[in-house]
Amino acid sequence: MLFALLALGANAVSAQDKNKIKVGVSVGNAEQTFEVVRKVAARDGLEIQIVTFSDYLQPNEALNAGDLDANAFQHQPFLDSQIKARGYKLTPVGLTITAPLGIYSRKYKSVDQLPQGAAIGIQNDPSNGNRALLLLQKYGLIKLKPGVGENGVNATPLDVIENPRKLKLIELDAAQLPRSLDDLAAASINNDYAVKAGLSLQRDTIAVEDAKGRYANLIVTRTEDKDKPWARKLVKAYQSPEVRSFIESEFKGSLVPAF
């Protein structure tokens, strides 16, 4: 009996102090950044296997199911919406970067040039769609009804109460927006999809979010793992001077360290 208890205790410690983890990230700049994180973490005895995803739904599903140990691709409003919709037991453990959202256009150079009835693509998921509508409002293109958008209640196109240019808001999957840009006057596109499509935040946008705000991205684990030593090592590796330097030099303001 004593031997069994000792073995059980040893296994529990081993499980908490595991030195190899799987982290889910989006393809593109997050994948590049995590190559640096992986090298920094290795010095602290933590081996990271990077698992890439091409959409925003699978990483949380995989994490909740136990196929990943952590993911790093989303901001708090998106995580909140996923937890509410799917009942995930997931918790943020550290900040990573802010990826300012932009309204991109291949036809116009400023919001002032948008014509009456222009078709504007926005994301069809609740949190990023809300983010796009807030950005359009910031630039005076629409006005949302009071009580939505800023305070945890996601706005939808149905919440637009003023639309002086009669813009047509076209809801599409986030990954489809870059491919649809030629057919639209402009589109709200998440940074990682924009980079993958060869779009530049500095060159191709007519409206841009503030660099820092509520949309800072997160490292997320299952709630049961949030205080594990390996989770702390992962956050420490990401928030290292080496990773900060890489982000600032590689992305030149299109991504901003949030730590």
Q: What is the pLDDT of residues 159-197, one digit of tens each?
A: 999 999 999 999 999 999 999 999 999 999 998 899 889
Residue 145 has pLDDT above 90, yes or no: yes
Q: Give per-residue pLDDT as tens, 74-133.
A: 999 899 989 999 999 999 999 999 988 999 999 999 999 999 999 999 999 988 999 999
Span 102-208: which CATH code?
A: 3.40.190.10
pLDDT for 215 equals 86
CA–CA dist 159, 169 (Å, integer): 12
Number of CB atoms found within 10 A of residue 62's CB = 16
pLDDT for 6 equals 39
Q: Which CATH number fits domain 2-100+214-257: 1.20.272.10, 3.40.190.10, 3.10.50.40, 3.30.1780.10?
A: 3.40.190.10
Least confident of 8-22, 120-134, 217-231, 236-250: 8-22
pLDDT for 1 equals 46
User: Contact at 8 Å (CB) between 186 and 121?
Assistant: yes
CATH 3.40.190.10 maps onto the chain at 2-100+214-257, 102-208
Q: Give per-residue pLDDT as tens, 22-64.
A: 999 999 899 999 999 999 999 999 999 999 999 999 999 999 9
Q: Give per-residue pLDDT as tens, 184-230.
A: 999 999 988 998 899 998 899 999 998 667 889 999 999 999 999 99
pLDDT for 7 equals 41
Residue 4 has pLDDT above 60, yes or no: no
Model-level pTM? 0.71
Number of CB atoms found within 10 A of residue 64's CB = 20
Both tokens of residue 182?
């030629």
| Beta partners for residue 123, in sequence order | 172
Which is nearest to 18 in space by CA: 240, 231, 223?
231
pLDDT for 195 equals 85
